[in-house]
């Protein structure tokens, strides 16, 4: 591990020298790449430097214990030694986590698709609540959300919605939300007062950026321009602005009508199609890597029941990590950090256990 860390430290210092070079400063693309690399390495370098300082503190305390005969000074040295050892142990674990292979999609924006599952109108109402939960969470993080495509029902529910979440690190936190979400409650449509169970599915897809090679032949896609329908403001039905894309090889159909402009709807539709095709490719790769799937916490299996929202008990249970919180109303208002932080910690722990100790 330490040879690898020394190499990282040398690279970090080299980057600092390169960034000060006039040739690099005048090359915008190279300057941008180096700044990104420096930013990515900074947490690891800071942790390693602090680890080395703790090691020096340990050596200084041991030296003082060997040379000192005064009881008070020896007691102080023992306390400093214990503190430095604890710091070094914590830092070593943090360094191991920082050395884990990083998901290249973590910094990307995401597209989230929510679909009502079992439960009829109640499932559609639940899907709408889950959508609002993520919108509130994004707002708390300073991220932006934008609806791409949706279908509502008359009582305030949603059969499905596709929406984009834009913000640094959005995928790194929201990727754990993919799966089946279940609600247990007395539906507003139920007069008998019986508790029903309904579901919705959530898929979290990284937004496709220019660094990802994904070729979609034009012959594989049919483009239809139609007149928008439904809510959308004055004039929404007066122009042929809605866009429908049909991808022949997969049968995926994308419909976008949320913008007044045909061009904007076409851009949204293509962005969503690219993301869905990339997600399909990722799923196929994920299914082939069975060992990796077992080492991850709910970031691939869309059919997995991941969470239950129980209204009578005000309880939310994440089944993957057996975490139960009795804060249903706050969580539905977007207070998801405790759940997501716990999922990230469990995911890191699982990966550390599977990694060969020789790597460190």
Q: Phi and psi of 111, rounded to 5°?
A: -115, 125
Segment 26-49 mean pLDDT: 91
Is residue 237 pLDDT above 50, yes or no?
no
Q: Is residue 121 within 8 Å of 155, Cβ to Cβ?
A: yes
* The predicted structure's pLDDT at residue 216: 85
Is residue 349 pLDDT above 70, yes or no?
yes
Q: Answer yes or no: pTM beyond 0.85.
A: no
* Helices within the chain (DSSP H only): 2-19, 22-25, 28-67, 71-99, 120-141, 170-174, 262-288, 290-294, 328-332, 337-354
CATH fold for the domain made of 2-99: Methane Monooxygenase Hydroxylase; Chain G, domain 1 (1.20.58)
Q: Is residue 325 within 8 Å of 315, Cβ to Cβ?
A: yes
Segment 39-55 mean pLDDT: 93
* The predicted structure's pLDDT at residue 236: 46
* The predicted structure's pLDDT at residue 102: 82
Neighbours of 151 (CB within 10 A): 14
CATH fold for the domain made of 218-283: Double Stranded RNA Binding Domain (3.30.160)
For the chain, the average pLDDT equals 86
Residues of each domain in the chain carrying CATH 3.30.70.1660: 110-211+289-351
pLDDT digits (tens, 9 = 90+) for 89-101: 999 988 988 888 8
Percent of the chain's residues with pLDDT above 90: 48
Residues of each domain in the chain carrying CATH 1.20.58: 2-99
* The predicted structure's pLDDT at residue 167: 93
CATH fold for the domain made of 110-211+289-351: Alpha-Beta Plaits (3.30.70)
Q: Is 223 helix (H, G, I), strand (E, B) or coil?
A: strand
* The predicted structure's pLDDT at residue 287: 65
Residues of each domain in the chain carrying CATH 3.30.160.20: 218-283
Is residue 84 pLDDT above 70, yes or no?
yes
Is residue 356 pLDDT above 70, yes or no?
no
pLDDT digits (tens, 9 = 90+) for 175-217: 999 999 999 998 876 666 788 999 999 999 888 766 666 788 8
Is residue 296 pLDDT above 80, yes or no?
no
Segment 323-344 mean pLDDT: 96
Give the length of the chain: 360
* The predicted structure's pLDDT at residue 130: 97
């Amino acid at each position: 591990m330490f040879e690898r860390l020394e190499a990282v430290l040398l690279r970090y210092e080299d980057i600092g020298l390169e960034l000060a070079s006039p040739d690099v400063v005048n090359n915008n693309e190279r300057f941008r790449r180096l700044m990104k690399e420096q930013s990515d390495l900074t947490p690891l370098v800071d942790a390693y430097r602090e680890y080395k300082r703790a090691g020096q503190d340990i050596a200084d305390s041991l030296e003082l214990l060997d040379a000192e005969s005064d009881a008070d000074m020896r007691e102080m040295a023992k306390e400093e030694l214990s503190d430095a050892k604890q710091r070094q142990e914590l830092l070593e674990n943090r360094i191991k986590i920082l050395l884990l292979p990083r998901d290249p999609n973590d910094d990307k924006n995401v597209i989230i698709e929510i679909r009502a599952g079992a439960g009829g109108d109640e499932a559609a109402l639940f899907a709408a609540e889950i959508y609002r939960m993520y919108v509130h969470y994004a707002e708390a993080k300073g991220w932006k959300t934008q609806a791409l495509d949706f279908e509502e029902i008359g009582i305030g529910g949603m059969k499905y919605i596709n929406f984009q979440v834009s913000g640094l690190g959005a995928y790194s936190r929201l990727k754990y939300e993919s799966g089946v979400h279940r609600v247990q409650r007395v539906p507003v449509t139920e007069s008998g007062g019986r508790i029903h169970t309904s579901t919705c599915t959530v898929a979290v897809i990284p937004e496709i950026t220019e660094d990802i090679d994904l070729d979609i032949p034009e012959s594989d896609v049919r483009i239809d321009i139609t007149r928008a329908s439904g809510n959308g403001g004055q004039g929404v039905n007066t122009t042929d602005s809605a866009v429908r894309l049909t991808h022949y090889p997969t049968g995926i159909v994308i419909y976008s009508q949320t913008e007044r402009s045909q061009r904007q709807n076409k851009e949204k539709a293509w962005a969503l199609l690219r993301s869905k095709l990339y997600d399909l490719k990722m799923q196929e790769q994920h299914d082939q890597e069975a060992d990796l799937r077992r080492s991850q916490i709910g970031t691939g299996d869309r059919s997995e029941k991941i969470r239950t929202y129980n209204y009578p008990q005000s309880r939310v249970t994440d089944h993957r990590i057996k975490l139960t919180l009795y804060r249903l109303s706050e969580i539905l208002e977007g207070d998801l950090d405790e759940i997501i932080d716990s999922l990230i910690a469990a995911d890191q722990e699982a990966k550390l256990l599977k990694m060969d100790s020789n790597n460190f």
